Amino acid sequence: MAIVTIGTQKWQDKNLDVMTFQDGTHISEISSSDQWAEYAASETPGWSYYNFDPSNASLYGKLYNWYAVSASDAICPIGYRLPTAADYQTLVSYLGGSNPAGQKMKNTENWLTLTRRTGNGTNQSGFKGNPGGYIKSATAEFWDQGWSANFWTATTASASEIVSRRLYWANNDCIALNAPIDMGLSVRLICTGSTEQCSDGDFNLTEMF
């Protein structure tokens, strides 16, 4: 994992892929649709691989439920935090607005390619957005791997929805969407600490990448 500087911000260039909070507490793997629903109902932190397949981890990281990421002080190392909707807006504005920011944030490979269009971006920003898809709801329906990248923010839209950011294969946008709290999305952290903290990434590296 590396840190990329985009304007005045410092971002991870890969999706989060940890199994423990920073104090060493285990974050449970969710390995079935029924279990995802149970964790949502009990508001228990957890994560899944896309399609419950560990081979997706190296490229896409993990899909976390809201209860794992909302404990942001626990999942984030010193000097890092879950980005807010405002942080993403700063990023998007620096890259020229929602369009073309999405194109500049998408990786140059891994996106869906059809005969008349490629979903790959330019990665001009260095963000390396990969299309890890998402878990649609408490029923744990997996959607959009290869088609979209979806990221939690720390900003609540309502009691039942969180502001998220989405990159999509068929356009150049980075759009804000309200995501129900029972979804599973990817996580990018933003570094607000010193250069040394960002470079060292003071993570609990157990089970990370």
Predicted pLDDT of residue 199? 59
Predicted pLDDT of residue 209? 25
Written as one letter, the residue type at 104 is K
Q: Nearest 10 degrees: CA dihedral of 206, 207, 208, 209?
A: 140
Predicted pLDDT of residue 71? 78
Predicted pLDDT of residue 1? 63
Q: For the CA atoms of the chain, what is the radius of gyration?
A: 16
Residues in Cβ contact with 163 at an 8 Å cutoff, skipping those fewer than 6 apart: 85, 153, 155, 156, 157, 176, 177, 178, 179
Q: Give the closest residue to 24 by CA, choosing from 79, 80, 82, 74.
A: 74
Beta pairing, strands 117-118 & 174-180: unpaired
Predicted pLDDT of residue 116? 83
Q: For the whole model, what pTM was predicted?
A: 0.93
Domain chopping of the chain, boundaries: 3-200
Predicted pLDDT of residue 202? 46
Counting as low any pLDDT under 70, the low residues of the chain are 1, 72-73, 194-197, 199-209
Predicted pLDDT of residue 207? 38
**CA atoms of 88 and 104, how far apart (whole Å):** 14
